[in-house]
Chains A and B, each alone.
Chain A
Amino acid sequence: MNQVVVHPERCVGCMQCMLACATAHSQSGTLFGATLEQPLPKSRIHVGAGRFNEGFPNRCRHCDPAPCQAACLAGAINRVANTGTVMINPDRCINCASCAMACPYGVIRFHEDPLGPPNRQIAVKCDNCSSRVVRGLIPACVEVCKTGTLTWETVDDAMRRKNREVSRAMSSGGPGQPAVPDGVALLKTIKQAELEIGER
């Protein structure tokens, strides 16, 4: 089963995934159109800043068992059997925020949503782009990610790939392959130094 896998070491913090997510969950389906809608569609993926201001694309992990589902007394949260996606039913949500209290990742937001009931705040989170996937598309965040931070594959495939990369990096003899390209490593070193001297 394919899912969105996050490779955080590759995130450059460009926030393209956030724009694509909001657009995918708009009524118009276009970026410009989405910015003119009322209510404004909002991203379900949240790029945060790490200790060294590196990006991290934080999104619903669709946990199993899902703490949010267990905490939802209204029964608004359920899991789609064949995809494993944890979904919030906007019509059943009572905006109590119990799911938010339970969520270990902090990826649930509360606002009026273009695809939810009008004039009412509800809990909103990643739905794995279900409506795109049934049309044969991949999730919008993965589609726009140019650095390979977000991939659409089975976790096993992702782990096998990573295993190969780690194994090659660990093998002795011959020129080692750097974990990240030189330019990326250089920029990271500079950013770390800037922050480190600020704490003196």
Chain B
Amino acid sequence: MFDPKISLSVTTDGDPLYAKARKDGIETVWERHEAQQPQCGFCDMGLSCRICVMGPCRVDPFGEGPQTGVCGADADIIVARNLCRMIAAGAASHSDHGRDLVEVLAGVAEGSAIGYKIRDEAKLKRVAAEYGITTDGKEVLTIAGELADAMMEDYGMRRKAIQLVDRAPQKRRAVWEKFNLTPRGIDRETSEMMHRTHMGVDNNWVTLLLQGMRNALSDGWGGSMIATEVSDILFGVPAPRPTTVNAGVLKADQVNIVVHGHNPVVSEMVSLACQSKKLLDLAAKKGAKGINLVGVCCTGNELLMRRGIAMAGNHLMTELILSTGAVDMMIVDYQCIMPSIGKVASCYHTKMISTSDKAQFPQMEHIEFHPGNAEKKAAEVVRTAVENFTNRKGTPFIPVEPQAAVGGFSVETILGALGGTPEPLIDAIKAGKIRGAVGIVGCNNPKIKHDYGHVTLTRRLIENDILVVDTGCVSVATAKAGFKLPEAAAMAGPGLQEICKALGIPPVLHMGSCVDNVRILVLVSALADALGVDISDLPVAGSAPEWYSEKAVTIGTYFVASGVTTHLGPMPPITGSMNVVKLLTEGLGDVVGATFAVEPDPEKAAIFLRQTIEDKRKALGLDSRNVA
């Protein structure tokens, strides 16, 4: 049971800031989680259904009470429908983020997105070529407009398949064709998922879950991939840059602005405004030594990847960061922003600004950013933040010194570091110096001790010569633990250590925000193509040790549907149907060559993931070990 005296976090700043928040009378996610105990078992098992108003219904897992909903749906159908709606919501979220970037791209082409520009013409041309757009002799803005149009079509129903599935290895595409999993349109699959789960439509739990996979793929190889690619075109392809992480990145003597959310459309403009001479002069006049822009969550990761902007924390740190009293302004866009943080900020001088037309929050001022006004609005809010510097109450509480890290590993820079081809990495895997690779992704969840899952699993994997790539909230956890420096190679096993030292890279590579999980798909496709195999043949795996969100369900599902066996820390709400559990953890192996596995304990998960990798090595004819 919850005991606030027990350490809640493995980070150096988590516990002292939690103690500060308690002292200041702030209610955090941990207290709210405790107040919810016991959480409803019907819901936890996926056995409650609120889809129609003949209900709500629930099925008795002990077999004596009702075994079907009013409509007649049994446990298998109810669990499958609920899970599929989580996938649809996750796909909708990331893909809608992608849509916002396509709108900016179209705005740049039209000249209406003031302040935005094409930062990487080479990437624009590469992606346009994939969409069959001829680029020779065309103006850059013309190409941008045609690409935006083509991507908009990916969202609709004019195509038989979305464009970027062509990036997957031939063998993988054949699997998708065989099981009818090739996504046709990004919004189409989400809409069809919602349709199929309406009362009286698809009541075969297997075909429901197959559509769930197609829906997830429409995000992974569609909306999310578009989000990442267009972000790269507009804001630059990430390259390795030094940065710093943890609460220590806040500066007592500077104006601290924290960006929170996911979409770089707002945070990039804020980042530019923070460099304005006029605003820097104003800050100096107010007695501040500068304007310090830092991030939390994925909008921070977007800035870290491209600009080396520091990261103050991940999901469960968002309330605690405010309790430093050092934040002069927090600017949010959307996704994973707890509606509690406006109230937390009200205990301090912190100004809270919401910016998206689709996301408003209690106790925040809403200043809407659009591609046409973002440059102007960014300057306005940064000015307000600077003016707020003098309103600080007392001395800020910043309990730690910042931890150095390196971020910014896009597929382009990883392949660049390897000399342009994946061959050196493949050679190292073949030689057994690197046993394989694991993508650790996802969130924080108060059900798991903060960052314990991420840090423990990462440590165990690199110790055993497994290269780790990470994104999202995991990437902040592992950076804070010191894994993201070239010197961290010393924490790796001898083989991985040798490779890291030769290349001058850390054993844990930061690949971006949570939409950037698609970079991992592109990387594994490059490896599979180089070996002439399917993704499911590779000695790779995925993991989400502390996941909480619907987006994470979708990500896990597109990983598995792409052939990457994926471990989850917390249990999804599916235990009400052992048929669904068995299909996801065993049966999918025969369909897509990958499965899910659930294990909250990262020590045990590490053994599972290592064994998964060793088994793949064996099947490829490489040397393999017995781990368990």
Contacts and interface: CB of A to CB of B under 8 A. Distances in A.
A197 B41 contact: no
Nearest to A199: B6
Most chain-A Cβ atoms within 10 A of its Cβ — which of B40, B41, B58, B578? B41
B38 A148 contact: no
A12 B40 contact: yes
Nearest to B599: A193
A1 interface: no
Contacts of A47: 38
Most chain-A Cβ atoms within 10 A of its Cβ — which of B61, B64, B452, B601? B61
Question: Size band of the B side of the interface?
Answer: 35 or more
Contacts of A11: 38, 41
B65 interface: yes
Contact of B6 (A12, A54, A193, A198): A198
Contacts of B6: 198-199
B571 A190 contact: yes
A168 B35 CA distance: 39
Nearest to B38: A13
Contacts of A199: 6
Interface stretch (A32-40, A94-102, A125-133, A177-185): A177-185
Nearest to B40: A14
B70 interface: no
A55 B447 CA distance: 16
A197 B598 contact: no
A146 interface: yes
Nearest to B580: A183
A50 B38 CA distance: 8
Most chain-A Cβ atoms within 10 A of its Cβ — which of B1, B62, B571? B62
A55 B41 CA distance: 8
A147 B65 CA distance: 6
A184 B39 contact: no
B42 A197 contact: no
A186 B575 contact: yes
A12 B573 CA distance: 13
Nearest to A50: B38
Contacts of A194: 447-448, 570, 600
B40 to A, nearest CB: 4
Contacts of B570: 190, 194
A115 interface: no
B163 interface: no
Interface in A45-75: 47-51, 53-56
Interface string A159-200: 000000000000000000000111110110010011111111
B66 interface: yes
Contacts of A111: none
Nearest to A55: B38
Given A148-B65, A195-B1, A183 B575 contact: yes
A49 B38 contact: yes
A47 B36 CA distance: 11
Interface string A1-27: 000000000111111000000000000
Interface of A: 10-15, 47-51, 53-56, 145-148, 180-184, 186-187, 190, 193-200
20 contacts: A12-B42, A12-B45, A13-B38, A13-B39, A14-B40, A14-B41, A14-B42, A15-B38, A15-B40, A49-B1, A49-B37, A53-B1, A55-B41, A146-B42, A147-B41, A147-B61, A148-B62, A181-B63, A187-B571, A197-B448
Leading 4 A-B pairs by shortest Cβ distance: A12-B41, A13-B38, A49-B37, A146-B65
Given A148-B60, A180-B62, A193-B600, 4 more contacts: A56-B38, A147-B60, A186-B571, A194-B448
